[in-house]
Amino acid sequence: IVLTQSPGTLSLSPGERATLSCRASQSVSSSYLAWYQQKPGQAPRLLIYGASSRATGIPDRFSGSGSGTDFTLTISRLEPEDFAVYYCQQYGTSRGLTFGGGTKVEIK
């Protein structure tokens, strides 16, 4: 399953709402999709699993939604620490976990 993330770069100001898209080449079974945040020089951090369940310690300004082939990560109000690269990952098939190419959220 190929995951396509859009846009490639999102330029926003602190306090604004960010909407990131992840589209799959075929349906992701059981909404088996996760989102990660990666800051420069750091390892990725799990934000969302099961398309909409927040990982432990993740602020509620992060939310995930979607099913089938279209998934969305929403950051309701951007904080300075939220500017980073975000990746989606599908795990709907054991034949191959795949990641999207990433969306960079940068300060406008």
Partner 1 sequence: EVQLVQSGAEVKKPGESLKISCKGSGYNFASDWIAWVRQRPGKGLEWMGIIYPGDSETRYSPSFQGQVTISADKSTNTAYVQWTSLEASDTAIYYCARHELAYDYDGIGTPGRGWFDPWGQGTLVTVSS
Binding site for partner 1 (CB under 8 A): 30, 32, 34, 36, 43-46, 49-50, 55, 87, 89, 91-102
Least CB distance to partner 1 at residue 15 (A):
28
Least CB distance to partner 1 at residue 45 (A):
7
Angle formed at CA 11 by CA 10 and CA 14, multiple of 5 degrees: 115
Residue 62 carries which side chain, given as an amino acid letter?
A: F
Among residues 36, 68, 73, the alpha carbon closest in space to that of 55 is found at: 36
What lies within 8 Å, CB to CB, of 61 at 6+ separation is 75, 76, 77, 79, 82
Q: Name which of 97 and 107 has its Cβ closer to partner 1.
A: 97
Least CB distance to partner 1 at residue 102 (A):
5
Residues 35/48, Cβ–Cβ less than 8 Å: yes
Q: Name which of 13 and 94 has its Cβ closer to partner 1.
A: 94
Q: Name which of 80 and 96 has its Cβ closer to partner 1.
A: 96
